[in-house]
Chain A
Amino acid sequence: MRPFALSYARPAVKSATSTPYSYDATRQLNVLPDGRPATCSRAVLLATGTTASTAGSKTHFDD
């Protein structure tokens, strides 16, 4: 028998967002291709890891 709650599960939307930054171990921060901290870019912040939306963020689990 299927658990009741699973009747209301929906397919996860696969993220189309790429991560245009990489981790700089020296600075202990993620940086953009031009070397600026990724947090300088509001667009990057909105599109990636800071969101609570389920659209594309692996961090959406509000643990």
Chain B
Amino acid sequence: MTVLVLTCEEDLTADIVVATLHELGVPLVRLDPADLPGRVSLSAEYSDNDFHGYLKSGERMVSLNSLRSVWVRRPGVPGARSAEQSAWITAEAEQALYGMLSCTNARWMNHPTAAAQARYKPWQLHIAHQSGFLVPPTLLTSFPSAARQFAATHRDLVVKSVSGKHPGDPPMVLPTTRISPDTDFSGVAAGPTLLQRHVPKEADIRLTCIDDQLFAARKKADPEEVDSRFTHHGTWEPAEVPDAIHRAVLAYMNAAQLAYGAFDFAEDPEGAWWFLECNQGGQFGFVQLETDQPIAQAIAGWLAVKAAL
């Protein structure tokens, strides 16, 4: 039984898990969907009420029926390195690859359907509420008047990207940023805008969940920067997970049908953890490096479990 790792070649975080799988003696095939068609090829046949298929990457070939698990670790866009790149070939390659893989009994971390839903920040907030997390008051709007009213009510706000993406041309970054309640909100009409009450924080919390294993890390907040990704202030240290958070995380993972999730919280001066977001493909390498928490080993252990036939 083989583990299929879908990732780009240069991803060193994937390497940590791959090396662990090697140590465990678990067969694996690593490929980047960007190489389909080209270095990666596939075939599947549906006949006689049965299904057989295989994938080939370089010199390695794997039968779809022999997959125990699939790890989707920031793969490339299908067809992106095709000799004939086009939106059409990307759609064809994506449908073929993920459609075939969806026919197997393999376990997914994470299944593309669950991953796609889990990327929606408004949906994250909805599920977070239902799961029992504290969630800061949040407004998603394209009405400037609604933004002004929200600012008048909550006063201390941050603005963040709805999609989590950064503007691309020219290359820009869009950190979560604190804004004044007296700001001119007219630009809200030009694009849906996510405003959230600012949580004064003592620390940032990154909690990585693999199935039912939780690894929490804490970093003292930078008073000058709201968004911890944009500061080198402080170091990550292991943190205890409060029981209520533990229960809420498992409820969220179950509701979202995720096997992997990286949760961000703001810890307020009273020690309460406020849910900010859950990244279904969130980075974990930096946490493992600074805390020595065995996150990659937990992922490898989950992937190594054989699929139920």
- Flag if A1 contacts B190 (CB, 8 Å): yes
- Flag if B187 contacts A51 (CB, 8 Å): no
Cβ proximity bits B231-256 to A, threshold 8 Å, 1 near / 0 not: 01000000000000000000000000
Which residues of A1-30 have CB atoms within 8 Å of chain B's CB atoms? 1-14, 19, 21, 23, 25, 27-30
Residue of B58, B186, B279 near A63 (CB, 8 A) is B279
Distance (Å) between the CB of A47 and the closest chain B CB?
A: 10
- Flag if B9 contacts A30 (CB, 8 Å): yes
Residue of B164, B167, B188, B280 near A4 (CB, 8 A) is B188
Which residues of A30-63 have CB atoms within 8 Å of chain B's CB atoms? 30, 37-39, 42, 44-46, 48-55, 59-63
- Flag if B285 contacts A54 (CB, 8 Å): no
Q: How far is the CA of A10 from the CA of B174 in the complex (A)?
A: 6
- Flag if B16 contacts A10 (CB, 8 Å): no
- Flag if A4 contacts B187 (CB, 8 Å): yes
Overall SS of chain A's interface: loop
Known pairs A1-B186, A45-B289; A6 contacts B10 (CB<8 A): no
- Flag if B175 contacts A48 (CB, 8 Å): no
The answer, yes or no, to whether B119 is at the interface (CB within 8 Å) is yes
Residue of A10, A30, A63 near B15 (CB, 8 A) is A30
Could you say which residues of chain B place their CB within 8 Å of the CB of A39? Answer: 12, 15-16, 19
Known pairs A46-B289, A61-B164; A12 contacts B173 (CB<8 A): yes
- Flag if B179 contacts A3 (CB, 8 Å): no
> Which A residues fall within an 8 A CB radius of B?
1-14, 19, 21, 23, 25, 27-30, 37-39, 42, 44-46, 48-55, 59-63
The answer, yes or no, to whether B281 is at the interface (CB within 8 Å) is yes
- Flag if B285 contacts A49 (CB, 8 Å): yes
Q: How far is the CA of A49 from the CA of B29 in the complex (A)?
A: 21
Can you list 27 A-B contacts (CB < 8 A)? A2-B187, A4-B147, A4-B159, A4-B187, A4-B188, A4-B191, A4-B193, A5-B191, A5-B194, A6-B187, A8-B175, A8-B179, A13-B173, A14-B171, A23-B10, A25-B58, A25-B59, A28-B30, A29-B22, A30-B9, A39-B15, A45-B285, A49-B10, A50-B13, A50-B285, A61-B164, A62-B229
Could you say which residues of chain A place their CB within 8 Å of the CB of B58? Answer: 25
Q: How far is the CA of A61 from the CA of B218 in the complex (A)?
A: 20
Could you say which residues of chain A place their CB within 8 Å of the CB of B285? Answer: 45, 49-51
- Flag if A5 contacts B161 (CB, 8 Å): yes
The answer, yes or no, to whether B189 is at the interface (CB within 8 Å) is yes
Q: A23-B9, A28-B5, A63-B279 are in contact. List 18 more A-B contacts (CB 8 A).
A: A4-B186, A5-B194, A6-B174, A8-B159, A9-B166, A10-B173, A10-B175, A11-B171, A12-B166, A39-B12, A42-B289, A51-B286, A53-B229, A59-B11, A60-B283, A62-B283, A63-B119, A63-B282
Known pairs A11-B172, A12-B171; A4 contacts B190 (CB<8 A): yes
